[in-house]
Amino acid sequence: MPDLAIETQGLRKEFRTRRGVRVAVADLDLAVPAGGVHGFLGPNGSGKTTTIRMLLGLARATRGTMRVLGQPVPDRLPHVVDRVGAVVESPKFSPNLTGRQNLLLLSRSIGVPDARVDAAVETVGLTGRERDRYKAFSLGMKQRLAIAATLLKEPALLILDEPTNGLDPAGIREIRETIRGLGEAGVTVLLSSHILAEVQQVCTSATIVGHGRLLASGTVDDLLGGSTVHRLVVPDPAAATAALERAGVPVTADDGDPGVLRVETEDPAAVTRLLAARDIWLSELTPLRPDLESIFLQLTADDAPGRPATTEEAAR
């Protein structure tokens, strides 16, 4: 497999509307590494579905280039389509058939062995429920069955567009576990979502988009960045504050807890030494890492609406 499972350069999609031209995807450079789960994150309307539809040959790009599993698409899509699975819209299953029967129908129609059905059922965690009728499935089970259907081809790349939409917290957890398992099994997953907390737990890397533009991309660790702010707990915060201020270390009281300080340092060991030298013994010094949600909110807030790529441009 190439290093990048998906790569786009200058990908753009404009829709003509009655009010003019709407830029849904604005010159997007997307790089999804092969292996692992890659989050494709952005608020509603930021161009995720449109990008996915272009990658799958369901919509035409206005301009730009795309590669999927190393092949230029849409031209070479027929060469990779067997190795790509996607859940973009709700798939159609027969309500009166069981989950397993639905999958068997599919596997026979695409000519893969029946044994793949049981393997797929197991991968998505539906073993034991696969003989229930589809109409009795919960939303989470329906979504897992949709993922199982895409696994029949044993895809190298799986594209899931908002797979937890409309699910309750239990359903979201089920899908999260399924996706985590797929990533661990070596499938590259592109997971589009606007729910950050869920994504942070399963993704190894992520791209954040806003108004069709790339806002940030990288490993989740890179996106979260190293934090220099630490939470400090000491028996005498006033004495610790005075000592740190004398040494020029920025320190503030924690808003929520008067016994806790926030210290900004790139060298936590120096803080420990400095306080110990004054007989102040800390009981906690922990880096405060932002979560993906705060990074996302900050990036998308900075990406104010009304900038050129986001607005309806004047009718041409």
Binding footprint of ligand ATP on the chain (CB under 6 A): 15, 17, 22, 24, 42, 44-50, 162, 194
For residue 78, cis peptide bond before it (omega within 30 degrees of 0): no
In what order do the strands lie in the sheet containing 188-193?
Answer: 84-87, 157-161, 188-193, 37-41, 205-210, 213-219
In the complex, the smallest distance separating the C-beta of residue 308 from ligand ATP, rounded to whole angstroms, is 14
The CA distance from 208 to 292, in Å, is 10
Q: Which is nearer to ligand ATP, 4 or 195 (CB)?
A: 195
The CA distance from 150 to 109, in Å, is 13
In the complex, the smallest distance separating the C-beta of residue 178 from ligand ATP, rounded to whole angstroms, is 20
Q: Which is nearer to ligand ATP, 24 or 223 (CB)?
A: 24
In the complex, the smallest distance separating the C-beta of residue 169 from ligand ATP, rounded to whole angstroms, is 19
Q: Which is nearer to ligand ATP, 50 or 150 (CB)?
A: 50
Q: Closest Cα to residue 213, out of 26, 55, 24?
A: 26
Q: Which is nearer to ligand ATP, 130 or 161 (CB)?
A: 161
* Alpha-carbon distance values, 158 to 52, 88, 152, 212 (Å): 11, 11, 12, 22
Q: Which is nearer to ligand ATP, 50 or 98 (CB)?
A: 50
The CA distance from 132 to 228, in Å, is 52
The SS3 assignment for 120 reads helix
In the complex, the smallest distance separating the C-beta of residue 62 from ligand ATP, rounded to whole angstroms, is 12
In the complex, the smallest distance separating the C-beta of residue 192 from ligand ATP, rounded to whole angstroms, is 7
The CA distance from 133 to 150, in Å, is 19
In the complex, the smallest distance separating the C-beta of residue 15 from ligand ATP, rounded to whole angstroms, is 3
Q: Please report how the helices 169-184 and 115-123 are oriented relative to each other, as an axis angle in degrees rounded to 10.
A: 120
| CB-based burial, 190-212: b 16+ in 10 Å, e otherwise | bbbbbebebbbebbebbbbbbbb
- Other CB atoms within a 10 A radius of the CB of residue 226 amount to 9
Q: What tokens does 69 get? A: 């599993």
Q: Which is nearer to ligand ATP, 76 or 194 (CB)?
A: 194
Q: Which is nearer to ligand ATP, 51 or 102 (CB)?
A: 51
In the complex, the smallest distance separating the C-beta of residue 197 from ligand ATP, rounded to whole angstroms, is 16
In the complex, the smallest distance separating the C-beta of residue 42 from ligand ATP, rounded to whole angstroms, is 5
Q: Which is nearer to ligand ATP, 13 or 144 (CB)?
A: 13
Q: What tokens does 169 get? A: 């917290």
